[in-house]
């Protein structure tokens, strides 16, 4: 089943690369020290590459949004209120114990529905809430002169930074879970192969 | 920490209009009373004899020989603004405390131009009253500094600390940004004014913006730290280091400030660092005035992130375990 057109695969690969660069350089800045620099990147290099990657990510994010509208790919992210929480619980139960008992996947991938309810929720939160917040707060840190100086007595920069690093942490967490759940295909490598070839291998034999 | 989170929560939940002003006063309780500009010198009347001419860009005198009144421009180096003098550290002085009383006559006797000027140590050295200012240690620092090499060309304390206008800032600071501006203006007085720079050096003109091109976000750095943060060697026993380093020894490593052990805590924030803010932020005092990535990370958020990350990793490991078990039980 051909699910992932070329533009999605290229965008996904670029997005993955940029997110990894941003996480490594972000952690390097956050946990920088005089004597040691974790993750090898020194502070100056981390700032430079974080800014470059973030600028490219912003453009790539706009591209993603535009293409979702133009190609209709956005429909896969639409959450229907009907039975959403019930479906979500069903999917969670499947991951928690159903799959170990040999139950069938409750929401097999089809051309009409690429994502299961858990995927849909997390992707929507990451792509439509997390990334906009991280990009906006990142712009605030890159151009501190545009950031509100004080908000109820607290530095606007601190609030912006807390928002940025919290979102950065959540994106890092998402990345780990995302990579792991991608091993839950028919074979551990099936979903990775699908993202390279564009063809999704069905879960069931 | 709770109060911080409460405040953040209030902002996020209610999205109330933001308070843009920086009027919130985070000043230290120990901050001394600052000058109000209303000081009345006991020598005000006597000083006025000098200020009458030296307090303005123009001055007037009578040429008795020709019987005319002459209006002339005062040399800019000789202009002392009353408003600056009377808020300076030497505001209680009479002009003739330091200058010859013979200046009383006009035209001033020519030989007075050669009068020896006092240096800081001439008055402040070896005096217990000023021991807290460590003038001797400042002098020792200065003698090792790159500025001292220019003493033969005429470099003195006055080049940075004009005795007519100098104010101690860092100890009285209620607004650190203003202190930074004031202190940096001292350096820029020569380093961004080539005419003044040439009085002491034969070097080519320096373009400070170009020489600091490597510094990300120049404007934020210039507004938030003093030149001396990077261009002097730290001295544990001095509030302000006077050991100005040669340019090739200036701090260029970001981590010196952007780190848990930020050197800003023993330079710019040395005086205030006893007034540490809480809320779990490392080097919290910096937060009163600025935000330094790497130096101001929140310890609680750090711990929370490690715990959450650990729990997710554990959950994944447990999941992997059950997957493997199922595979072998098939």
Q: What local confidence, expressed as pLDDT, does residue B24 receive?
A: 30
* Residue B34 or A74, more confident: A74
pLDDT-derived band at B288 (thresholds 50, 70, 90) equals: low
- A143 → chain B, closest CA residue: B217
Alpha carbon distance B319, B300 (integer Å): 29
In degrees, rounded to 5, the angle at the alpha carbon of residue A75 between the alpha carbons of residues A74 and A79 is 105
Phi, psi of B134 (to 5 degrees): 55, 50
Q: What local confidence, expressed as pLDDT, does residue B34 receive?
A: 44
* Residue B325 confidence (pLDDT) above 50: yes
Alpha carbon distance B7, B14 (integer Å): 11
- A157 → chain B, closest CA residue: B291
* Residue B165 confidence (pLDDT) above 50: yes
* Residue B268 or B78, more confident: B78
% of chain B exceeding 90 in pLDDT? 23
pTM of the model: 0.66
Interface test with A, best of B10, B251, B286, B319 (most A CBs within 10 A): B319
* Residue A153 or A205, more confident: A153
| A162–B301 CB contact, under 8 Å | yes
Phi, psi of A151 (to 5 degrees): -125, 110
- B21 → chain A, closest CA residue: A150
In sequence order, the 6+-apart residues with CB closer than 8 A to the CB of B86 are B37, B39, B41
Tell me if B285 sits within 8 A of B277, measured CB to CB. yes
| B254–A42 CB contact, under 8 Å | yes
In sequence order, the 6+-apart residues with CB closer than 8 A to the CB of A4 are A12, A194, A195, A198, A199, A200
Which of A6, A115, A133, A2 lies closest to A61 in space, CA to CA? A133
Burial category of B82 from C-beta neighbours within 10 Å (exposed 0-12, middle 13-18, buried 19 and up): middle
B256 contact residues in A (CB cutoff 8 A):
34
Which of B159, B97, B90 lies closest to B130 in space, CA to CA? B90
**A202 lies in some domain:** no
Rounded mean pLDDT of chain B?
A: 79
| A150–B22 CB contact, under 8 Å | yes
Q: What local confidence, expressed as pLDDT, does residue A128 receive?
A: 95
Q: What is the domain partition of chain B in residue ranges? A: 34-116, 299-330
- Helices in chain B by DSSP H: which ranges? 2-14, 44-54, 82-85, 95-98, 120-124, 135-144, 176-191, 194-198, 208-211, 218-224, 227-231, 299-329
- A174 → chain B, closest CA residue: B312
Tell me how many domains chain A contains: 1
**A88 lies in some domain:** yes
Interface test with B, best of A38, A39, A150 (most B CBs within 10 A): A150
Chains A, B: CB contacts within 8 A come to 113
Question: pLDDT of A10-59, one tens digit each?
Answer: 999 999 999 999 999 998 888 877 666 555 678 888 888 999 999 999 99
Give Cα separations from A146 to A139, A160, B18, B175 (angstroms): 9, 11, 14, 21
- A150 → chain B, closest CA residue: B20
**A1 lies in some domain:** no
Q: What local confidence, expressed as pLDDT, does residue A152 receive?
A: 73
Tell me the mean pLDDT in the region B118-139: 85
Tell me if B294 sits within 8 A of B261, measured CB to CB. no
Interface test with A, best of B18, B21, B255 (most A CBs within 10 A): B255
Q: What local confidence, expressed as pLDDT, does residue B244 receive?
A: 92
Q: What local confidence, expressed as pLDDT, does residue B28 receive?
A: 31
Question: pLDDT of A63-77, one tens digit each?
Answer: 999 999 999 898 998
CATH number (domain holding residue A131): 1.20.950.20
% of chain B exceeding 70 in pLDDT? 76
Q: What local confidence, expressed as pLDDT, does residue B261 receive?
A: 63
Chain A residues contacting B, CB < 8 Å?
Answer: 29-34, 37, 42-44, 47-48, 51, 95, 99-100, 102, 141-142, 144-145, 148-159, 161-162, 165-166, 169, 172-173, 176-177, 180
* Residue B158 confidence (pLDDT) above 50: yes
Alpha carbon distance A66, A64 (integer Å): 6
Structural tokens at position A197: 């070839």
| B254–A169 CB contact, under 8 Å | no
Alpha carbon distance A8, A71 (integer Å): 11
Partner residue opposite A151 with nearest CB, options B18, B296, B313: B18
Tell me the mean pLDDT in the region B86-100: 90
* Residue A200 confidence (pLDDT) above 80: yes
In sequence order, the 6+-apart residues with CB closer than 8 A to the CB of A134 are A164, A167, A168, A171
- Write out the residue range of the structural domain in which residue A146 sits: 6-197
């Amino acid at each position: 089943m051909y699910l992932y057109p070329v533009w999605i695969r290229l965008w996904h690969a670029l997005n993955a690369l940029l997110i990894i660069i941003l996480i490594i350089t972000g952690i390097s800045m956050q946990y920088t020290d005089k004597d040691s620099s974790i993750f090898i990147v020194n502070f100056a290099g981390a700032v430079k590459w974080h800014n470059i990657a973030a600028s490219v990510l912003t453009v790539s994010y706009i591209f993603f949004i535009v293409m979702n509208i133009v190609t209709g790919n956005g429909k896969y992210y639409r959450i229907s209120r009907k039975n959403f929480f019930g479906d979500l619980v069903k999917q969670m139960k499947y991951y928690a114990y159903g799959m170990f008992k040999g139950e069938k996947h409750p929401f097999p991938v089809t051309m009409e529905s690429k994502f299961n309810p858990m995927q849909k929720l997390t992707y929507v939160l990451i792509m439509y809430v997390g990334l906009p917040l991280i990009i906006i707060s990142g712009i605030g840190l890159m151009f501190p002169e545009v950031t509100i100086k004080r908000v109820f007595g607290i530095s606007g920069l601190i609030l912006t930074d807390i928002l940025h690093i919290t979102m950065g942490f959540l994106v890092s967490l998402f990345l780990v879970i995302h990579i792991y759940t991608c091993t839950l295909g028919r074979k551990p490598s099936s979903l990775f192969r699908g993202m390279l070839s564009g063809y999704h291998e069905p879960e069931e034999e | 920490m709770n109060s911080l989170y409460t405040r953040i929560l209030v902002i996020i939940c209610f999205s109330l209009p933001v308070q843009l002003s920086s009027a919130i006063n985070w000043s230290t309780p120990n901050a001394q009373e600052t000058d109000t500009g209303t000081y009345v010198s006991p020598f005000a009347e006597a000083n006025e004899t000098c200020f009458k001419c030296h307090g303005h860009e123009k001055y007037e005198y009578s040429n008795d020989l020709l019987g005319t009144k002459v209006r002339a421009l005062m040399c800019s180096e000789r202009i002392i603004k009353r408003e600056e003098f009377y808020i300076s550290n030497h505001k209680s002085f009479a002009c003739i405390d330091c200058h010859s009383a013979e200046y009383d006559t006009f035209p001033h006797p020519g030989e007075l131009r050669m009068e020896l000027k006092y240096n800081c140590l001439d008055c402040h050295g070896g005096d217990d009253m000023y021991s807290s200012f460590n003038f001797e240690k400042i002098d020792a620092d200065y003698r090792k500094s790159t500025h001292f090499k220019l003493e033969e060309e005429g470099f003195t304390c006055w080049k940075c600390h004009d005795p007519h206008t100098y104010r101690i800032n860092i100890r009285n600071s209620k607004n650190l940004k203003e202190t930074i501006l004031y202190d940096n203006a001292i350096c820029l007085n020569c380093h961004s004014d080539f005419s003044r720079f040439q009085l002491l050096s034969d070097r080519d003109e320096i373009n400070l913006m170009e020489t600091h091109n490597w510094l990300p976000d120049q404007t934020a750095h210039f507004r938030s730290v003093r030149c001396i943060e990077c261009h002097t060697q730290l001295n544990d026993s001095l509030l302000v280091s006077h050991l100005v380093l040669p340019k090739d020894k200036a701090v260029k490593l970001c981590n010196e400030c952007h780190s848990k052990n930020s050197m800003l805590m023993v330079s710019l924030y040395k005086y205030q660092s006893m007034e540490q803010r809480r809320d779990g932020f490392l080097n919290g005092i910096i937060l009163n005035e600025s935000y330094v990535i790497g130096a101001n990370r929140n310890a609680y958020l750090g711990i929370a992130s490690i715990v959450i990350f650990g729990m997710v990793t554990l959950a994944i490991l447990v999941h992997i375990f059950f997957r493997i078990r199922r595979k072998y039980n098939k």
